[in-house]
Amino acid sequence: MSLEIIGQTILSVAALVAVYMTLWFAVAIAAHRNDLADVAWGLGFMTIVVWLLLREGAPLSLRQYAVSALVLVWGSRLAWHIGRRNLRPGHKEDARYAKWRREWGAWFVPRTYLQVFLLQGLFMIMISMPVLVVGTAAGPGFDWLDAVGIVVWLVGFAFESTGDAQLARFLGDPANRGHVMDRGLWAWTRHPNYFGECTMWWGLSLVALSVPGGWPALVGPLTITWLLTKVSGIPLVEAQFAGQPEWEAYKARTSALIPLPPRKA
């Protein structure tokens, strides 16, 4: 696979994502709900997959079908989970977006478009590189690296979906209000959902490396791992709890991302 071919694919997907995120921006402004960007996230990857499938046309390789199916399963689950959480009756706009709404003042609309929707669209393109590589070139037949990548993806999906379900049950119990979730997978890692998402994209990158010249796929897992560990994931979430005694004790005994046995006090 040549860089010229993958470059053409990236340009076509960039145009698609620009239109897609612009439409979501318009809906969010009309609804006064910028947290719709979180719902658009998983659905955006699904849109990219469908676009690539239609663009490539039949016949498709087993690898292309497998990667497409995995992304569609992940994207639909994530969009459903976030949509059910954020858009339930009586639930206000996510606190992060509400804070930006207040801080940005007169620049709220342009900054929303650029810093929320278009920037998220850029990261979407970068993270989807394993999908773009596989969607652009079928490569040789299904081999052991594909199988390893799918197993890694399944481990990641199990962590993300199970972690989300455990947290939802915990938050749904009024007796847990004000307390830290430290049970199940959350006893082994402070962010099993983020660990799962990173792992899934590393798994897809392994599948993409089965394609000759598929090394650009590594941009995807490197980007999502950087975002979740250094930018918008762990740092933003943990800043909300900093200084709380129960949280600090939990933080001291629990791994930040990679699941490990709890440390003794």
Q: Mean pLDDT over residues 170-183, rounded? A: 94
Closest CA to 180 of 225, 265, 223, 243: 243
Contacts of 153 (CB under 8 A, 6+ apart): 70, 199, 200, 203, 204, 207
In percent, the amount of the chain with pLDDT more than 70 equals 97
Domain-wise residue ranges, the chain = 3-253
Instruction: Compute CA distances 104 → 107, 115, 218, whole Å.
Output: 5, 11, 35
Question: Between these two residues, 178 and 118, which has the higher pLDDT value?
Answer: 118
Task: Report residue 265's pLDDT band, with 50, 70 and 90 as the boundaries.
Answer: low
pLDDT, tens only, 51-65: 998 887 667 889 999
Q: Give Cα 57 to chain centroid, integer Å.
A: 27
Asked if residue 229 lies in contact with residue 257, where contact means CB atoms within 8 angstroms, the answer is yes
Q: What letter would DSSP give residue 94?
A: P
pLDDT of residue 161: 97
Contacts of 174 (CB under 8 A, 6+ apart): none
